[in-house]
Chains A and B, each alone.
Chain A
Amino acid sequence: MSRRGELARQHLQPLDVALRHHRTYTWLRRSVLAASLLLTVGMPMWHLRARDAESAGQAVRTGFGGARALGLPGSAPDVVGGPGAVELFGLELVDPLPIAAVAVSAGPRWSLLWLAAPALVLVLLLGRFFCGWVCPYVPLLAVSNGLRWWLTKLGVPLLDVRLPRRSGLVVLTSVLVASALLGLQVAPLVYPPSVIGREAFRAVFYGGLGAGSLLVALAFGFDTFVSRAGFCRSVCPGGALYALLGTLSPVTVKLDRPKCTGCTVCDVVCNLGQSPMNGRIDEGCERCGKCVASCPTDALKLGLTLKGRA
């Protein structure tokens, strides 16, 4: 390509990237994330509206008054729960982490396996996809990353501590052991999707945030000032469990080496410290596809690998 054409290409790059985002399933992922957020905040509103419609005339405890203004119908659909444990029109999608903790502390039951089965199948096929596609912490992580970018621009020194990935497994084991020893569930207290779902519900129903927000704030602070996406990468017990369960997941990012120019963009956009450019992708990959979308030469693709790992 002529030098002129190359320059033109450089100028066009933002547009080019935007189009590429269109082409890949980035928008699909964003839709799923949006649906997850809608579930987190919108469903409590809808249920609140349904309760208020039912108890019209009775004294109603304080709550979010906007549900009525939003014009939601008076009866909620058959959807209950947050993104961590939702029943979608009869289909149970319940996080395997709390189910595993219940099995450890209250003893295993077959009914628990059936309960977790639909989500388990997804995790076995897609590994940590929950982290990039569904977790309600993802928008906060995006804000945290943006904040990191701005603070770095402003010259604020930021740490980027890389905890060993194993530390997630240590947290996971601690959560399970603590649940068994203390005789209560620890995961709902420290696991962000569970905490965020409950906090959002309480904020909508009762109009206030609880101590759980403190944990989310701590995770946010950790990710922003100490380690980029460090909580997701090496602290979150759920992420560690999904990585473990998804070790044999057939869906992986594949590198077409001849097309790669070594520009490192894919390595830089990855939140979870993977290195698609070098073909070094392990079970920690959340299948978010940001590397695929950002590759200027289309050298990366999400595909099926029967061996398990590429």
Chain B
Amino acid sequence: MSRRRVLLGLAAAAAVSLVPRRSRAAHRIRPPGALPPGAFEKTCIGCFRCAEVCPPKCIDFASVLSADSGTPTLDLRAKACTLCMRCTQVCPTDALRPVAAEPGAVAAQVRMGTPQLDRKRCLPWNGEGACSLCFQVCPYPDRAVELVGLNAGPLFHPEACVGCGLCEEACPSLARAIHIEPLP
């Protein structure tokens, strides 16, 4: 009987150590079409279908012991989303709601994060050089980002940005001025 208690205690301890703080799980970039933070974690069953069909292979699962290891996350700096919307079509529980692979529908329904520009590091803004890579890779140029001022520095419009991270991925390594902030 005591051995059984010990085993059950060990199992309980293992279970508790797997249980995470919620705050950590909430602030992550999720695949496009994801339910809002909170609802997404409740609905995703960790089946990895979204990651399996992702052409740029930007969807991954945390490899460390955490509550996130069962849900898909994106590291946009390493690999950005190309907005093909295939992941939204295969989700069994609609944790990712289906979105048509069409620029208008994507602009209306996808919000993966909010762009943040550090002007001190951005080459046109700090005067260290000319660069417009973010503008060139943006799927919604002149809407999500436009070039302004004498040096043609980027100005982001978060309300029109889907948060795909192509700009963050393209931002040259000596600058790394752009960061897509996860939804609160």
Contact = CB atoms under 8 A, between A and B. Distances in A.
A202 B8 contact: no
Contact of B45 (A102, A171, A214): A102
Contacts of B131: none
A47 B50 CA distance: 11
Nearest 3 CB-CB pairings of A with B? A188-B46, A210-B63, A188-B70
Contacts of B56: 51, 55, 58
19 contacts: A43-B52, A51-B56, A80-B49, A87-B49, A94-B45, A98-B46, A98-B47, A102-B45, A179-B42, A183-B42, A184-B41, A184-B71, A187-B46, A188-B45, A188-B46, A188-B47, A202-B48, A210-B64, A215-B18
Most buried by A among B8, B11, B94: B11
A106 B45 contact: no
A102 B47 contact: no
B164 interface: no
A211 B45 contact: no
B66 interface: yes
B108 interface: no
Given A99-B93, A184-B41, A44 B46 contact: no
Interface of B: 3-4, 7-8, 11, 14-15, 18-20, 22, 25, 38-39, 41-49, 51-57, 60-67, 69-71, 78-79, 90, 92-94
- Interface footprint category on A: 35 or more
Contacts of A182: 19, 22, 67
A190 B71 contact: no
Contacts of B94: 111
Contact of A210 (B11, B41, B69): B69
A41 to B, nearest CB: 12
A95 B93 CA distance: 12
A105 B67 CA distance: 15
A178 B57 contact: no
A208 interface: yes
A159 B86 CA distance: 49
A194 B42 CA distance: 16
A4 interface: no
B156 to A, nearest CB: 26
A82 interface: yes
Contact of A184 (B14, B48, B64, B67): B67
B55 A201 contact: no
Contacts of A198: 46-48, 61, 70
Contacts of A167: 8
B52 A87 contact: no
